[in-house]
């Protein structure tokens, strides 16, 4: 599958993973020490939901435009970030680097990596002169080798690959194994699309690190057997009580997609000791 943010901005999987991302950062920021977020596949930063690419798929109509009016407590933090970029009406959707940058504290830091020149240029324009954020044009998986561990020794590696390569999960597992060897106390989150049957069991077999590992999958369109029916996120070293946030977010999203057979599942691959 080829997952390009310009075409899929604001769809149900973006809503799901970015709500989880906001909760992850909130949990990490409960402690005063600075954090670093390494965003391995950052994209452009901000997406126009009225662009030709977004209009071609119309996926935001079945994603953020459904969720945006639902200001439940579990979604309030995430939707508040989206609202920051839309003071008048919902037109722009923030990608992961925009979300992270908005949530950074004074001493926190963002390392945003993207391999494509066009998105890199747009992301640099978006970041501007913010000294807390740096944009690097490089392979996202290689970024894990390059930037882990960060000097802060606290934070998150957020992996959101486009899944263009049939071996993408194997590449992700290799990067995760390397990162966890170098920075075993860091938090890592890998998003993956579910199209038909999930292949995430392959990742489970390939990642060898025995750290607390939590997996959540949300199906927005379980009644459909075609296209992107849902997505999942695997979190290595999740922050304390993050599981509660995950359940609250999924329970808030589920009734919004109730008519299309929504559902979610969670599983501890490795429980905390």
Q: Where in the sequence numbering do the catalytic residues fall? A: 160
CA distance 238 to 266: 13
**Dihedral angle, C-alpha 237, 207, 96, 258, nearest 10 °:** -90
**C-alpha to C-alpha distance for 46 and 70, rounded to whole angstroms:** 22
Q: Let me know: does 146 contact 138? Beta carbons within 8 Å.
A: yes
Neighbour count for residue 183 (Cβ, 10 Å) = 20
CB–CB of 227/194 below 8 Å? Answer: no
State the Cα–Cα distance between residues 10 and 248, nearest whole angstrom: 20
* Whole-Å CA distances, 56 to 49, 143, 202: 10, 32, 32
């Amino acid at each position: 599958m080829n997952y390009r943010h310009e075409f899929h901005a604001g769809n149900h999987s973006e809503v799901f993973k970015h709500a989880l991302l906001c909760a992850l950062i909130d949990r990490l920021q409960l402690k005063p020490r600075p954090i670093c977020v390494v965003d391995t596949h950052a994209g452009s930063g901000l997406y126009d939901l009225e662009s030709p690419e977004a209009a071609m798929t119309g996926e935001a109509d079945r994603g953020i435009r459904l969720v945006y009016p639902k200001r439940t407590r579990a979604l309030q933090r995430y939707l508040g970030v989206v609202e920051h970029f839309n003071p008048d009406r919902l037109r722009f959707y923030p990608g992961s680097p925009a979300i992270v940058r908005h949530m950074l504290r004074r001493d926190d830091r963002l390392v945003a990596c993207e391999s494509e020149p066009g998105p890199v240029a747009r992301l640099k324009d978006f970041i501007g002169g913010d000294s807390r954020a740096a944009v690097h044009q490089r392979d996202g998986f290689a970024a894990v080798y390059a930037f882990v561990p960060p000097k802060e020794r606290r934070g998150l590696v957020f992996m959101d690959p486009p899944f263009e390569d049939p071996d993408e999960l194997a590449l992700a597992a290799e990067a995760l194994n390397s990162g966890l060897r170098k920075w075993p106390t860091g938090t890592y989150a890998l998003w993956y699309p579910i199209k038909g049957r999930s292949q995430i069991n392959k990742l489970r077999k390939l990642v060898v690190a025995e750290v607390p590992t939590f997996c959540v999958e949300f199906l927005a369109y379980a009644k459909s057997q075609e296209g992107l029916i849902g997505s999942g996120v695997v979190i290595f070293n999740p922050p304390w009580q993050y599981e509660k946030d995950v359940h609250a977010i999924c329970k808030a999203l589920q009734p919004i997609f109730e008519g299309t057979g929504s559902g979610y599942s969670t599983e501890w691959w490795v429980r905390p000791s």
